[in-house]
């Protein structure tokens, strides 16, 4: 059964009855290989659609999850259950719980993944004091606003005032290698423990490189939870900084003090162009530096040129895009014009744009732009009846995701080995035009029904 991987979290959704006969078809060897390859931050099994399970079935899945935890240092466990299932799992695995239990899927993103939830309020209550503290510590580390209820009465009285209620959840040991957050278009990697040569194995370099491709320019390593860093760990950061320089990438390190490393290593990091801050707060307060770094990034980015390869894949990209748009929007899509030029748009500044990077055999950036007011009409199938602006952006992101997935299949059918990044969303055309990549590329203008859409393909 293929897991759904979203925001760096892989979730399996088995249905019906879970026993020893069918458990092995839920997490198969092929699924494990895919997960090890993609290195998600967490792997969970949703029990939402499970009617009945026995010890054999759940034990098999727990064993496979533990394997994945060891292989990719992922946060693993079960989610989406009621109190009966929660108690039943706890009593099945007394004193030997190597996985976590998170009551609802949406709460999973409080503990892991790149989804931004920092403006949400959370109340925690548990009879188990050590669990209560562990949950609170984990959430506070993720910069979330947490309140711990003192007793059950207080919890029952206050819980309605919170966005999330964490009650029947259990944390096994969370030993994530590198947690990733995104704040103000800055990627924050949270490191823990001792940083040595092992970071070369646990850091998801593919994710990092692709984030650069889709336009992220500042990468911040939060070291507040790091106990110490040695010369090999420092070399890793220096290498990232030097390698990223040609793309205008800045590496920032926060929370590394004299107790954690030597002055020599700190000096080496600064010499490699790494910006050092006492903590994350002081970094984000330094708006001038953040903005300057952004501008600098644009200037430093290499001017890219169209390659023959990009021109050669264009027909496939256009064909796949038109076909997918027609299926998703249920409207006729037609190509209006194709030109090699810099990005030109007659739309106002209020747009929604998604940028996706293809890599490996095909090295290209794919940009989809629509007027903000037109998006809901075209992405109807992906939107709930009532939606927020955030959900509209999410829907357009999914829209771009499905189209890029379709293009990927086309490449694969022609034996081209390609992978794709997650889409990055912009909401202003002026911001999109700042990207160096938009200075030269193939622009295709589409009509979807009577709405306009721009596809910009560049290197």
Partner 1 sequence: MLSKDDIDKYLDTIPPVPNTIRLTLFHLNNNDLVQAANIAKEDKVFVAYLSEIVNKPIFGFMNDVKNVNQIFGILGLGKARQIVASYYIQLITPRDWEVFDFSNNKFQELQANLIIEWNEVLKELKIDNKNLQQSIALIPASLIVCEMMFRDIKETILLLRESKHMSFDEILYKMSGYRLFDIVLKIAKKWEFDDDIITFIKYFLQNKVVKIEKKEIVFLRLLINCEMSKPYIVNSGLNDFFDFPMNFTEEEIALFLKIRNKI
Site residues, partner 1 (CB under 8 A):
1-2, 4, 6, 13-18, 21-22, 24-26, 48-49, 51-52, 323-324, 326-328, 330, 332, 380-382, 398, 401-402, 405-406, 409
Nearer to partner 1, 114 or 458 (CB): 114
Spatial distance between the Cα atoms of 447 and 331, rounded to a whole number of angstroms: 10
Q: Shortest Cβ distance from residue 73 to partner 1 (Å)? A: 24
Three-state helix/strand/coil letters over 157-192: HHHHHCCEEECCCECCCCCCCEEEEEECCEEEEEEE
Q: Shortest Cβ distance from residue 404 to partner 1 (Å)? A: 9
Q: What is the largest CA-CA distance in the chain?
A: 68
Q: Shortest Cβ distance from residue 258 to partner 1 (Å)? A: 47
Nearer to partner 1, 257 or 330 (CB): 330
Task: State the Cα torsion 231-232-237-243 to the nearest 10°.
Answer: 120
Spatial distance between the Cα atoms of 173 and 191, rounded to a whole number of angstroms: 16
Nearer to partner 1, 323 or 459 (CB): 323
Output the DSSP codes for 370-422: EEHHHHHHHTGGGS-SS--HHHHHHHHHHHHHHHHHHHHHHHHHTT--EEEPP
Nearer to partner 1, 22 or 147 (CB): 22
Spatial distance between the Cα atoms of 78 and 29, rounded to a whole number of angstroms: 19
Q: Shortest Cβ distance from residue 6 to partner 1 (Å)? A: 8
Nearer to partner 1, 49 or 302 (CB): 49
Q: Shortest Cβ distance from residue 382 to partner 1 (Å)? A: 6
Q: Shortest Cβ distance from residue 180 to partner 1 (Å)? A: 20
Provide the 3-class DSSP secondary structure of residue 248.
coil
Q: Shortest Cβ distance from residue 311 to partner 1 (Å)? A: 24
CB 436 within 8 A of CB 449: no
Nearer to partner 1, 1 or 425 (CB): 1
Helix count and strand count (H, E) for the chain: 16, 22
Nearer to partner 1, 59 or 202 (CB): 59
Provide the 3-class DSSP secondary structure of residue 49.
strand
């Amino acid at each position: 059964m293929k897991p759904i991987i979203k925001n760096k979290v892989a979730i399996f959704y088995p249905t019906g009855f879970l026993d020893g006969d069918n458990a092995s078809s839920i997490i198969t060897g092929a699924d494990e290989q895919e997960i090890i390859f993609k290195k998600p931050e967490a792997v969970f099994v949703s029990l939402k659609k499970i009617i009945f399970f026995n010890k054999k079935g759940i034990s098999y899945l727990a064993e496979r999850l533990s394997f994945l935890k060891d292989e990719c240092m992922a946060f693993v466990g079960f989610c989406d259950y009621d109190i009966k299932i929660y108690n039943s799992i706890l009593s099945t695995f007394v004193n030997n719980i190597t996985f976590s239990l998170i009551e609802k899927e949406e709460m999973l993103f409080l503990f892991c993944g790149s989804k931004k939830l920092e403006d949400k309020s959370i109340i925690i209550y548990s009879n188990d004091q050590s669990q209560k503290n562990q949950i609170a510590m984990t959430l506070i580390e993720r910069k979330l606003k947490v309140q711990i209820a003192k007793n059950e009465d207080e919890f029952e009285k206050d819980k309605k005032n919170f966005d999330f209620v964490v009650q029947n959840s259990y944390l096994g040991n969370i030993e994530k290698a590198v947690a990733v957050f995104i704040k103000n278009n800055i990627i924050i990697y949270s490191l823990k423990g001792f940083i040595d040569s092992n970071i070369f194995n646990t850091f998801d370099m593919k994710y990092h490189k692709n984030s650069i491709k889709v336009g992220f320019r500042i990468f911040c390593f939060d070291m507040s939870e790091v106990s110490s860093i040695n010369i090999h760990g420092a070399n890793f950061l220096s290498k990232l900084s030097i390698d990223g320089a040609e793309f205008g990438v800045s590496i920032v390190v926060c929370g590394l003090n004299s107790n954690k490393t030597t002055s020599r290593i700190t000096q080496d990091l600064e010499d490699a162009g790494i910006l050092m801050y006492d903590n994350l707060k002081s970094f984000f307060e330094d708006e001038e530096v953040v903005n300057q770094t952004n501008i600098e990034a644009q200037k430093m980015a290499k001017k890219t040129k169209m390659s023959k390869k990009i021109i050669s894949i264009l027909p496939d990209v256009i064909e796949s895009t038109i076909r997918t748009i027609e299926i998703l929007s249920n409207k006729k899509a037609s190509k209006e014009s194709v030109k090699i030029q810099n990005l030109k748009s007659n739309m106002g500044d209020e747009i929604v744009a998604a940028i996706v990077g293809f890599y490996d055999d095909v090295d290209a950036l794919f940009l989809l732009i629509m007027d903000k007011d037109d998006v809901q009409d075209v992405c109807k199938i992906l939107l709930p009846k009532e939606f927020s602006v955030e959900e509209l952006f999410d829907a357009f992101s999914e829209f771009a995701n499905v189209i890029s997935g379709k293009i990927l299949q086309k490449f694969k059918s022609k034996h081209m080995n390609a992978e794709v990044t997650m889409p990055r969303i912009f909401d202003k055309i002026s911001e999109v035009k700042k990207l160096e990549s938009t200075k030269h590329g193939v622009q295709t203008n589409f009509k979807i029904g009577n709405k306009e859409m721009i596809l910009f393909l560049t290197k």
